[in-house]
Structure 1
Amino acid sequence: MKRDETIVALATASGAGAIAVIRVSGKEAITITSKLFKSVSGKNLETQKTHTIHLGHIVDGNKILDEVLVSVFKGPNSYTGENVAEISCHGSPYIQQEIIQLFLRNGCRMAEAGEFTLQAFLNGKMDLSQAEAVADLIASDNEANHHIAMQQMRGGFSNEIQKLREQLLNFASLIELELDFAEEDVEFADRTQFKSLVNRIQEVLKRLVNSFAVGNVIKNGIPVAIVGEPNVGKSTLLNALLNEERAIVSDIAGTTRDSIEDEINIGGIGFRFIDTAGIRETEDIVESIGIKKTFEKIEQSQVVILLVDGSTLHSGTSLDEKLRQIQAEAEKIRSKSPSKPFLLLLNKSDMLTENEISSIGETLQEVHFISAKTGKGVEDLQNRLLNFVNTGALRNNETIITNSRHYDSLLRALESIEKVQMGLTEELSSDLMAIDVKETLYHLGEITGEVTNDELLGNIFANFCIGK
């Protein structure tokens, strides 16, 4: 991007709507807009105060394209730090394109993905982690994602990193000073204070790195595999959780031959429920492939639900034998991923008597009763699933890492600061420690954008939408 260029793009979603907003940013943004805008009161946009809105028409020569509202933001007091004009026009795709084409013919060029936010970063309106949070905020589809993105965009994460970096930079300067007076053998950096700072930085970095495990599942949704024998009600349970007929429900065993996925919001957290093919011995090749995929989905999931058909407990072998079979099946599924949260659900519990439920509960102490058909126990299931997520950090407004680039930089910074700590313990010379301190500063600077390059910026902003 050339810093003297003026860019234009549709800032709202493409397609027809009540209104659309076209954003223009750059040194000549207000000047160009002023030439193409005729105020109903005869105002000249260039002489108007910043943060004002004006009614008029966008004109192409003698042709009126639309009646619009133009918002004026004069740099540096704008989103991008440049002069900005935002045109609120009617939402016809034809009108949108006509106005954009008009601006392109009058000195603007089409903005690239994320270029308005890139301008804001280059003009010091936000750091790099805050800029990335803009994209996360736009993509947020539940309360938790929105909360984390808002906290990061407001500088919660960057402020924490910036403080650590500044404190470490002060000591780095003193260590560099020691190197200039190496022959005098003096210490300007108090080693006791330095050790205390290094320990504090290490603790903060460890907390941030560990938070990624929570942040990653919150951002991408927590995968929950629903497994069990054919026709136990897995698809009905999925429909009950989603509150819609998403999965095919049939009395024919083996109806679900592939996994079906959908996501719902529980307590502000996204859960991706996976309705898998029923597990049973079969000679059907297609169904066998589905069962193989079921075990793959168990490996990929964060939580596993084993669903058992409670109505079958009345027939065939004795109740005790049935319960032993259920226990064996539960242990088999649990053994596939022993570290993952596991729920044993007895479906169709509305067909059981209170005495039967009591007896089953005594034998299968971890069992939870549910009726996917009537909805009984569905809310309790949702609460149990929510308890599996460590939302304490979220509730306490702690910084949670969701960005894999930040995670990688934090890991590298942690490795470097651990080397510094080792150097202090072993009383290494200042010149050797200075190398590791600089490396730590570099990786912390990568997060906020104090250390950057064109390739990194290109990769980050390429994931933005046009117009932001």
Structure 2
Amino acid sequence: MIPQDTIVALASPSGAGAIAVIRVSGVQAITIGSLIFQSISGKDLNKQKTHTLHLGHIVDGNKVIDQVLVSIFKGTQSYTGENTIEISCHGSTYIQQQIIQLLLRKGCRMAQAGEFTLRSFLNGKMDLSQAEAVADLISSDNEASHQIAMQQMRGGFSNEISKLREELLNFASLIELELDFAEEDVEFADRTQFEALLNRIEFILKRLIDSFALGNVIKNGIPVAIVGEPNVGKSTLLNALLNEERAIVSEIAGTTRDTIEDELVIEGIGFRFIDTAGIRETTDIIESIGIKKTFEKIEQAQVVLFLIDSLQLIIDNKNTVKIEIEKIKNQFPQKPLIVVINKIDKLNLEQRILFDTQLSIINYPILIEISAKEKKGIDDLKNQLLSFVNTGALRNNETIVTNTRHYDSLLRALDEIQKVKFGLQSNLSSDLMAIDIKQALYYFGEITGEVTNDELLGNIFANFCIGK
């Protein structure tokens, strides 16, 4: 049911600033606005056209609260699909509260989280996946997540799903028609065309489902654990990657007792680097806790950088480095591991020959030489990290799924489509196939909001910010 009351909220960030924007939406939005607004030119807000700006004052009786600009958006031409005004006032928190309290006394109520976007959905201005993209757009903090949110907000994902649902619905109607004429044993749905459609839907669903792995890391960032023995330069590497003195650097082994995290955007992709405590045998209780946390962070990371001191590698007569690499690979087989040899700037010509011999013994395919102190090889490391991300999908503007709810619905829809395919190939009766088709249509509808309920909407919009 579409709400008929009028809501108000601060649409700009809370706190003091140069200006603030207060949004009012609902049947009585313009009428209530006219009760507290006095135009400089004497205009009546109720008689003004949509998409117009008006200079004047917000007044409470004879008291002038602020000079403001009021924007008017009428009916279906507004963001919410209903009458809306936006009051641009000075950014004082006192002024903001005075205006909002005045609007509440005149008949508005405070908007709930995401209620403006919820009304936009209920009024048919956007489907549910587009509404969810609004929240993703607001929270996007890198180019890639922004690009995906914009594509979804423009309807790229929902259009693809709606088209599949429409084609499946057409065949479902023919299957249902066959049930009405079951006694006459007629077929209205061409089985060959139907199987071709099911194959195409299955292919598209699998592609969308597979894209979630990329979408999830783009949306949430890729956690990268920097691990290694004490004093190999983990903190120096973190500082070099971030191009700032984020972590304390010292010649004293065990300086990093706790994990330090910071994020870096590389070509539009967010990477969250975690500088961990050095791994070694120790009797220091505090350092031991830090080492325990190191292994916890490796568990959480999607990529592991194993840092080695080039000089230590030269004197590694027992091949302990190779053993350590194999140990990490065996313990975390699903995680990409990059072996990073640091401090190559300290190698003289003689040491370099010994160093190259040791590298041939290690014989690890993903190995990068760097000098974190002099920032040499850092770009090579960044390029290697990017290689783990399928950025081609972004460049080709392919649909990428980032929402867990969508991912779950796609998995369920795929399961139903595969049941229909099995039924078709096994010559099952139309009434049995119709049940699975209806379920597939239901899961498609869940994504776009053609099938919904109050609990689902409550869960989705509760995560929005107030004012949007």
TM-score, with normalisation over the residues of structure 2? Answer: 0.96
- The corresponding residue for 2:332 is 337
Alignment equivalent of 1:326, drawn from 321, 329, 344? 321
- The corresponding residue for 2:8 is 8
Deviation at 1:379?
1.7
Q: Distance in 1 between matches of 2:408 and 2:172?
A: 23
* Maintained 8 Å contact 1:58/1:99: yes
Given residue 393 of structure 1, which amino acid in structure 2 is its aligned partner?
A
- The corresponding residue for 2:398 is 398
Q: Distance in 2 between matches of 1:357 and 1:180?
A: 83
Give 1:147-296 correspondences, 5 Å limit.
147-296=147-296
* Maintained 8 Å contact 1:299/1:336: no
Q: Is the partner of 1:273 in helix, strand or coil? A: strand
Deviation at 1:144?
0.6
1:346 maps onto 2:341 in alignment: yes
Deviation at 1:30?
0.7
Q: Distance in 2 between matches of 1:397 and 1:129?
A: 18
Q: Is the partner of 2:278 in helix, strand or coil? A: coil
Deviation at 1:358?
5.7
Give 1:23-34 correspondences, 5 Å limit.
23-34=23-34
Deviation at 1:160?
0.2
* Maintained 8 Å contact 1:26/1:82: yes
* Maintained 8 Å contact 2:2/2:123: no
Deviation at 1:310?
2.0
Unmatched segments (≥5 aa) in structure 1: none
- The corresponding residue for 1:105 is 105
Give 1:141-152 correspondences, 5 Å limit.
141-152=141-152
Given residue 194 of structure 2, which amino acid in structure 1 is its aligned partner?
F
Partner deviation per Cα, 1:271-297 (whole Å, 9 max, x = no partner): 011111111111222222222222222
* Maintained 8 Å contact 1:80/1:123: yes
Seen in structure 2, the aligned counterparts of structure 1 residues 361 and 44 have a Cα distance that, compared at 3 Å, is: farther
Q: Is the partner of 2:246 in helix, strand or coil? A: coil
Given residue 13 of structure 2, which amino acid in structure 1 is its aligned partner?
A
Given residue 110 of structure 2, which amino acid in structure 1 is its aligned partner?
M
Deviation at 1:345?
1.0
Q: Distance in 2 between matches of 1:277 and 1:6?
A: 55
Residue identity over aligned pairs, in percent, reads 74
My pick for the range that moved more, 276-285 or 83-92, is: 276-285
- The corresponding residue for 1:69 is 69
Q: Distance in 1 between matches of 2:292 and 2:247?
A: 19
Q: Is the partner of 2:209 in helix, strand or coil? A: helix
Deviation at 1:191?
0.5
- The corresponding residue for 2:383 is 383
Q: Distance in 2 between matches of 1:406 and 1:358?
A: 55
Given residue 321 of structure 1, which amino acid in structure 2 is its aligned partner?
N
Deviation at 1:355?
5.7
- The corresponding residue for 2:457 is 457
Given residue 35 of structure 2, which amino acid in structure 1 is its aligned partner?
K
Q: Distance in 1 between matches of 2:309 and 2:358?
A: 16
1:53 maps onto 2:49 in alignment: no
Given residue 147 of structure 1, which amino acid in structure 2 is its aligned partner?
Q
Q: Distance in 2 between matches of 1:205 and 1:355?
A: 58
* Maintained 8 Å contact 2:226/2:275: yes
My pick for the range that moved more, 338-347 or 117-126, is: 338-347
Deviation at 1:362?
5.3
* Maintained 8 Å contact 2:368/2:380: no
My pick for the range that moved more, 135-144 or 370-379, is: 370-379
My pick for the range that moved more, 425-434 or 291-300, is: 291-300
* Maintained 8 Å contact 2:238/2:275: yes
Seen in structure 2, the aligned counterparts of structure 1 residues 320 and 294 have a Cα distance that, compared at 3 Å, is: closer
Q: Distance in 1 between matches of 2:328 and 2:351?
A: 25
* Maintained 8 Å contact 2:310/2:355: no
* Maintained 8 Å contact 2:2/2:119: no
Q: Distance in 2 between matches of 1:361 and 1:392?
A: 35
Q: Distance in 2 between matches of 1:354 and 1:217?
A: 42
Q: Distance in 2 between matches of 1:354 and 1:81?
A: 73
Deviation at 1:298?
1.6
Seen in structure 2, the aligned counterparts of structure 1 residues 155 and 357 have a Cα distance that, compared at 3 Å, is: farther
Deviation at 1:338?
2.4
Q: Distance in 2 between matches of 1:395 and 1:369?
A: 29
Partner deviation per Cα, 1:406-456 (whole Å, 9 max, x = no partner): 000000000000000000010100000000000000000000000000000
Q: Distance in 2 between matches of 1:426 and 1:109?
A: 58
Q: Distance in 1 between matches of 2:58 and 2:132?
A: 33
Q: Distance in 2 between matches of 1:385 and 1:312?
A: 25
Q: Distance in 1 between matches of 2:355 and 2:99?
A: 70
Q: Distance in 1 between matches of 2:150 and 2:101?
A: 34
1:140 maps onto 2:140 in alignment: yes
Q: Distance in 2 between matches of 1:361 and 1:168?
A: 61
Deviation at 1:170?
0.3
Partner deviation per Cα, 1:36-81 (whole Å, 9 max, x = no partner): 1111111111111111111111111111111111110001111000
Seen in structure 2, the aligned counterparts of structure 1 residues 362 and 175 have a Cα distance that, compared at 3 Å, is: farther
- The corresponding residue for 1:420 is 420
My pick for the range that moved more, 328-337 or 96-105, is: 328-337
* Maintained 8 Å contact 1:65/1:99: yes
TM-score, with normalisation over the residues of structure 1? Answer: 0.96
Partner deviation per Cα, 1:4-34 (whole Å, 9 max, x = no partner): 1000000000001010000000011011111
